[in-house]
Structure 1
């Protein structure tokens, strides 16, 4: 790949990043307008920060550019190339810093190191306004370096910036050291906090989505168990009524009455299940199990003993009896 193709590729990446940033801003504004119409504040914290958030800080280099244009810098061609190289490396690093994979890539770290070497060379060679490149280096470092090593890196960078600035400007170098440390730590803190908030928000949305899915599955299982048992009882009693009708109409009518009772009970339970208030009862399920098994030609024997059960145990054992009887009648 030639240098021209590489430049076109970089420009294409910048255009895509700018388009994505514009889309995030547009979506945020739409959510703001919708929230104002609804009368409440939106939950979204706004568009995520991108490399464009750190590009305006390059205006700190206007003093160096002014020195070049006024001819106050010796070897202006070297200074101009250094200024262009620094700006290019800065843009390259800060745009990659907002992507976790690119931020941890070796190319990003190498570019940051080269940026540090270039900053040192320009600061030692020219001093003055060129020392302000150290705080810019701190911004790029804070955006790229995260985790436990950030504190050590920030202190080392600030100490090095203070030493170089002190060599050129004397005690005024303390200000450069302080600005470098502050820009490094504040940038890292703000970006880390922003990422943490968005990750927590995404995790909360995922938990809410899973909770909805689990509730749907629970309700579908609940409805399946309810209708499966009820329909099995209705089928068994209908077959019993059909067999008994030629011999004993009274017995057949008794089965039909049971079918009506089971159907009405099923309607009630379905309504309660839909509204979320249905509670199982072991005694009720045992009575229904006795009726269903008797209609299927099975003589059940039920013995009750022991202290009363808690409502939770009643509901749990009621479901066990319901499922067992449904499977026995069906199979």
Structure 2
């Protein structure tokens, strides 16, 4: 029971954390901008007391201003609607109404300028915002100075108009930026998970495909020679045990992300696997030592190609050539004299190897040989431990 309660608490904390992550910083919605409409209570009081000329016109103007202000601010919290032509037209109508009411009635009606600046701040951005706010703030100060008697009123109203729009725009811009950063962080997290899954699936395919193929080949060899030579069969079985233990180690390394195929080790394993399958291995390697990352990538290529040769080729000879004598690229060629069939299924390891090599600036070409068999060519740009342009070619090793 205590375990279930702990699990429920954990889920609740996780849900609360998700809500916090997705919550919009700053003003959550347009409702936070509605209380500012109380600035229009002075003009409404003028209408009620009959202090305003043409009260019906003033009342219609007040109703129109409030309605359009609410519509613009609500549309401003949706990016697509905010940038639409309809919203800009509504904002233009709101500007016209504000100027008409301010010029026609003055006094408390001038406080519609800060409200207009709020609507502008929620809708416009960048240079358009600055230009419009300067015009509105200057107009508010000019009309106030022309109508009022206190010399500080123009400066106060003009500054208040400008700063109300600027602060609103700054808060909403910061809010949108934070939301975009959160979205980008979540996307990066998803991408990282997808990359890790792809890495693990590739490693698992390459590891298990090769290991199981070797185990099957050696098991068949042990079954064939057991009636004639029990000691040789036991040797094959011992090899199977060694391969199985090595596979367990490699799978653990793949899970933790530290698995790299060594080219030298893979060439030795290729000889063993090909020999057990009745295929004569011929391995040639020339050039200076390779940088570990390049050697690891070529090791994966050797593992996949040899696995395909054992499974599909029906060949009697397989040649593996590593040529690193060029100044900028290393070239790996693997070809056999079999029936010219490789791993061609959509989910084969060759597709994964092609993507790996392409990410490192290399290439992979696989297909039937010119005369017979199957041929695979992999190339990589490399940085060698020594300068390959000044180092003598190493003796080929077979």
Shared fold per TM-score greater than 0.5: yes
Q: Is the 8 A contact 1:94 1:140 kept in 2?
A: yes
TM-score under structure 1 normalisation? 0.83
Shift of 1:137: 0.3
Structure 2: distance between partners of 1:71 and 1:306: 100
1:302 is paired with a residue whose SS is strand
Picking from 159, 165, 176, the partner of 1:184 is 165
Q: List aligned pairs for 1:317-328, cutoff 5 A.
A: 317-328=298-309
* 2:174 aligned residue: 193
TM-score under structure 2 normalisation? 0.70
Q: What is the CA deviation profile of residues 227-263 of structure 1, one whole-angstrom value per residue up to 9, with x for unaligned ones? A: 0000111111111112212222222222111111111
1:300 is paired with a residue whose SS is strand
* 1:6 aligned residue: none
* 1:313 aligned residue: 294
Structure 2: distance between partners of 1:277 and 1:254: 31
1:74 has 2:83 as partner: no
Structure 1: distance between partners of 2:95 and 2:283: 84
Q: Is the 8 A contact 2:24 2:175 kept in 1?
A: no
Shift of 1:161: 2.0
* 2:131 aligned residue: 152
Q: Is the 8 A contact 1:162 1:173 kept in 2?
A: yes
Shift of 1:46: 4.8
Structure 2: distance between partners of 1:92 and 1:44: 25
1:284 has 2:265 as partner: yes
1:228 is paired with a residue whose SS is helix
1:72 is paired with a residue whose SS is coil
Q: Is the 8 A contact 1:232 1:329 kept in 2?
A: yes
Shift of 1:150: 1.5
1:49 has 2:24 as partner: no
> Alignment RMSD, CA only?
2.3
* 2:366 aligned residue: none
Flag structure 2 segments of 5+ consecutive residues without an equivalent.
Answer: 1-8, 313-398
Shift of 1:280: 2.1
Picking from 193, 197, 216, the partner of 1:216 is 197
Flag structure 1 segments of 5+ consecutive residues without an equivalent.
Answer: 1-29
Q: How many residues align?
A: 297
Picking from 119, 123, 128, the partner of 2:102 is 123
Shift of 1:187: 1.1
1:243 has 2:224 as partner: yes
Picking from 116, 134, 138, the partner of 1:137 is 116
| More strand as a share of residues | 2
Structure 1: distance between partners of 2:71 and 2:285: 78
Shift of 1:279: 2.9
